């Protein structure tokens, strides 16, 4: 059964149930459809073979942006849509999505002009280093396209300052500055969307580690990946929102394939105080010597660097390769030659596979980031329409979800009741945007809960307007800080385990908290989290040991986090 007020269920609770729509894939696009349809009163089930947001949706550059570089290919509609959606997220999720000042170092006045003209005209051309003229033209158009819903500061071009000259390579003579946005915790926004959906339509439910194994007639066969148990549900429509796995899922769902191709983007998290201080809160958006566009910006108390763009055939096998780490460190050295970078600075890596529409483009960077919704009609095996989400990017999830939801509503013969455009998400509802009003809100939470102001500020930064309720819950339990990560508390970890669908220790460590991506996980912390999760979820000592070992292996093998095994911790 599901906990009252929460959408999470195990497959056994779904046996024999009927849903108007079953959504396969609980990444940002699938969850966007789940939220939109639930708002229209449609009862939905969303399932994922892994954890919620465990695929590409948990591995973006954490930028919420309009896609400045897409202008060169003439993708004005995509940029207009993306900047509009960026502005909506800044308004609807201000607790998680924040403005990001961005600097582009420039070394010439007219560099890249011919290549830009050729690409704009539809020809294939080597990018070349873009100069002041090309970047200024692009930013002028970018500003114009992005001035809806929110007035962002206009771009500016200036001669490199003394601070810029001390930071960048010697050839940099100018800088261009503009604003985009970034998201602190994308996985948490996905959980908030699911909670909002269930609040709008209590019949809408979600199951992670729940794999669709077949679709026959109106019946979908679901396998619980934790127990191996198989159950059946029926549906009137099915949505395939599996991203880079779309074609593989099509085989199971009796749909058409050959619609997507994947390119992986690897990112590094650095513990590099000198670089973080030099960035001074800004992102640097730059071109490497091979023409690849890269980014680097302060992320919490670390620095985020990204990303590669490499074609992959199997999304399940995508991993950051040592050569990619060396590549990203080397391009940092190109742009910031007065600083040194080495593998010892890397505290975490992650990789996601972008679900791009199938293309014959010569280079991954030339593939469109646009999206589409395609319907596979019922066939001899499947009696329900299959609505497929092709392509897309994190920033535009809401607009893609709206397109898909409209198609589902049409198939169901139902009408749209509400729009999502002005709808706040999770802790963004009632979240003050003015700094003075935020101070007043924090003051009120402090009076009601009795927690310290430092702790209140942390909770508000994580949970927005919902920090007030959580602060009282945590305070009632004592809000004892973790021994090895004092900005989280034991009560907070227990709540995350019990109220967010945690099934494995890795779910908690990597996606429900920011501990892993901030490079905070040590042997002691992992053991402490394993103990709290075991108590909250009723794990046996054997299960606790298995979870600890499995999480350690994931951190080591997939995220380059080196945690030495300590026998006394894994045998308790």
Q: Do 375 and 448 belong to one domain?
A: no
Q: Do 448 and 552 belong to one domain?
A: yes
Whether 359 is covered by a domain: the verdict is no
Closest CA to 142 of 62, 64, 88, 69: 69
Model pLDDT for residues 432-456, shown as the tens digit of each residue: 988 899 999 999 999 999 999 999 9
pLDDT band at 134 (very low <50, low <70, confident <90, very high): confident
Map residue 318 onto helix, strand or coil. Answer: coil
Given its phi and psi angles, is residue 541 left (phi above 0), alpha (psi -120 to 50 degrees) or beta? alpha
Average pLDDT, the chain: 90
Whether 4 is covered by a domain: the verdict is no
Q: Do 26 and 45 belong to one domain?
A: yes
In angstroms, the CA 80 to CA 515 distance is 35
CATH number at residue 45: 3.50.50.60
Is residue 483 classed exposed, middle or buried when 0-12, 13-18 and 19+ CB atoms within 10 A define those classes?
Answer: exposed
Q: Do 548 and 446 belong to one domain?
A: yes
User: Residues near 317 by Cβ (< 8 Å), separated by ≥ 6?
Assistant: none
In angstroms, the CA 388 to CA 25 distance is 11
Tally of domains in the chain: 4
Q: Do 465 and 559 belong to one domain?
A: yes
Q: Do 343 and 393 belong to one domain?
A: no
**Which pLDDT value is given to residue 109?**
78
Mean pLDDT lowest among 69-78, 296-305, 487-496, 498-507: 69-78
Map residue 328 onto helix, strand or coil. Answer: helix
CATH number at residue 330: 3.30.9.10
pLDDT band at 428 (very low <50, low <70, confident <90, very high): very high
Query: What residues make up the domain containing 309?
Result: 262-353
Task: Measure the N-to-C terminal CA separation of the chain; round to a whole number of Å.
Answer: 31
Handedness of CA 85, 427, 195, 318 (dihedral sign): positive
pLDDT band at 572 (very low <50, low <70, confident <90, very high): very low
94 pLDDT above the threshold of 80:
yes
Q: Do 441 and 505 belong to one domain?
A: yes
Whether 417 is covered by a domain: the verdict is no
Given a contact cutoff of 8 angstroms between Cβ atoms, the answer to whether 53 and 214 are in contact is: no
Whether 131 is covered by a domain: the verdict is yes
Closest CA to 252 of 218, 290, 216: 216
Residue finishing a domain among 353, 378, 399 = 353
Map residue 75 onto helix, strand or coil. Answer: coil
335 pLDDT above the threshold of 50:
yes
**Which pLDDT value is given to residue 261?**
78
Whether 537 is covered by a domain: the verdict is yes
367 pLDDT above the threshold of 80:
no
In angstroms, the CA 562 to CA 47 distance is 32
| Cα Rg, the chain, nearest whole Å | 24
Distances (CA, A) of 570 to 137, 499, 546: 59, 26, 8
pLDDT band at 369 (very low <50, low <70, confident <90, very high): low
**Which pLDDT value is given to residue 108?**
83
Model pLDDT for residues 198-256, shown as the tens digit of each residue: 999 999 999 999 999 999 999 999 999 999 999 999 999 999 999 999 989 999 998 88
Q: Do 456 and 559 belong to one domain?
A: yes
Model pLDDT for residues 527-552, shown as the tens digit of each residue: 999 999 999 999 999 999 999 999 99
Q: Do 109 and 214 belong to one domain?
A: no
Whether 40 is covered by a domain: the verdict is yes
Residue 452 C-beta-side C-alpha neighbours within 13 Å? 10
In angstroms, the CA 94 to CA 183 distance is 9
In angstroms, the CA 117 to CA 108 distance is 17
pTM assigned to the model = 0.93
366 pLDDT above the threshold of 60:
no
**Which pLDDT value is given to residue 127?**
52
Map residue 303 onto helix, strand or coil. Answer: strand
Residue finishing a domain among 180, 208, 231 = 180
Whether 144 is covered by a domain: the verdict is yes
CATH number at residue 542: 1.10.8
Q: Using omega within 30 degrees of 0 as the cis cutoff, is the peptide bond preceding 307 cis?
A: yes
Q: Do 394 and 487 belong to one domain?
A: no
Whether 298 is covered by a domain: the verdict is yes
Map residue 558 onto helix, strand or coil. Answer: helix
pLDDT band at 368 (very low <50, low <70, confident <90, very high): low
Q: What percent of the chain has pLDDT over 90?
A: 73
Q: Do 456 and 563 belong to one domain?
A: yes
Given a contact cutoff of 8 angstroms between Cβ atoms, the answer to whether 173 and 160 are in contact is: yes
**Which pLDDT value is given to residue 355?**
85
338 pLDDT above the threshold of 90:
yes
Place of tokens 């905070």: 520
Q: Do 561 and 494 belong to one domain?
A: yes
């Amino acid at each position: 059964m599901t906990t009252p007020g929460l959408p999470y269920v195990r497959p056994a609770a779904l046996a024999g149930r009927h849903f108007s729509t079953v959504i396969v894939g609980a990444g940002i696009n699938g969850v966007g459809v789940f939220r939109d349809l639930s708002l229209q009163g449609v009862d939905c089930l969303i399932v994922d073979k892994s954890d919620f947001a465990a695929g590409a949706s948990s591995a973006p550059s954490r930028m919420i942006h309009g896609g400045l570089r897409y202008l060169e290919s003439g993708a004005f509609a995509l940029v207009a849509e993306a900047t509009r959606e960026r502005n909506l997220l800044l308004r609807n999720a201000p607790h998680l999505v924040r403005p990001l000042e961005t600097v582009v170092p420039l070394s010439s006045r007219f560099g890249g002009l011919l290549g830009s003209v050729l690409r704009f005209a539809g020809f294939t051309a080597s990018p070349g280093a873009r100069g002041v003229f090309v970047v200024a033209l692009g930013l002028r158009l970018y500003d114009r396209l992005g001035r809806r819903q929110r007035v962002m500061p206009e771009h500016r071009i200036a001669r490199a300052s003394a601070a810029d000259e001390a930071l960048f390579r010697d050839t940099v003579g100018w800088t261009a500055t503009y604003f985009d946005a970034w998201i602190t915790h994308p996985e948490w926004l996905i959980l908030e969307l699911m909670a909002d959906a269930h609040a709008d339509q209590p019949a809408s439910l979600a199951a992670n580690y729940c794999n669709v194994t077949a679709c026959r007639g109106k019946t979908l066969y679901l396998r619980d990946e934790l127990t191996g148990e198989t159950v059946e549900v029926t549906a009137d429509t099915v949505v395939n929102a599996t991203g880079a796995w779309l074609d593989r899922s099509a085989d199971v769902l009796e749909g058409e394939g050959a619609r997507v191709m994947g390119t992986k983007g690897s990112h590094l998290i650095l513990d590099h105080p000198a670089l973080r201080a030099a960035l001074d809160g800004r992102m640097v958006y730059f071109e490497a010597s091979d023409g690849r566009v890269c980014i680097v910006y302060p992320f919490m108390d670390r620095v985020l660097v990204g990303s590669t763009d490499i074609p992959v055939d199997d999304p399940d096998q995508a991993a950051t390769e040592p050569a990619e780490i060396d590549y990203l460190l080397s391009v940092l050295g190109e742009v910031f030659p007065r600083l040194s970078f080495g593998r010892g600075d890397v505290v975490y890596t992650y990789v996601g596979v972008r679900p791009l529409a199938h293309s014959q483009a010569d280079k991954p960077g030339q593939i469109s980031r646009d999206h589409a919704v395609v319907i596979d009609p019922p066939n001899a095996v499947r009696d329900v329409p299959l609505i497929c989400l092709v392509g897309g990017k994190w920033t535009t999830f809401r607009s893609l979800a709206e397109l898909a939801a409209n198609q589902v509503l049409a198939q169901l013969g139902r009408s749209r009741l509400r729009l999502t455009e002005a709808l706040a998400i999770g802790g963004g509802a009632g979240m003050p945007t003015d700094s003075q009003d935020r101070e007043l809100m924090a003051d009120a939470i402090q009076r009601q809960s009795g927690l310290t102001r430092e702790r209140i500020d942390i909770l508000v930064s994580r949970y927005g307007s919902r920090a007030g309720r959580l602060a009282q819950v945590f305070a009632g339990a004592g809000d004892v800080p973790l021994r090895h990560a004092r900005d989280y508390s034991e009560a907070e970890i227990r709540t995350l385990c019990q109220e967010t669908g945690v099934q494995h220790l890795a779910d908690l460590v990597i996606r429900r908290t920011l501990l892993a991506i901030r490079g905070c996980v040590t042997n002691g912390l992992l053991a402490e989290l394993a103990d709290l999760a075991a108590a909250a979820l009723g794990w046996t000592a054997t299960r606790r040991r298995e979870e600890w070992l499995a999480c350690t292996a994931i951190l080591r093998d997939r995220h380059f986090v080196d945690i030495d095994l300590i026998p006394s911790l894994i045998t308790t």
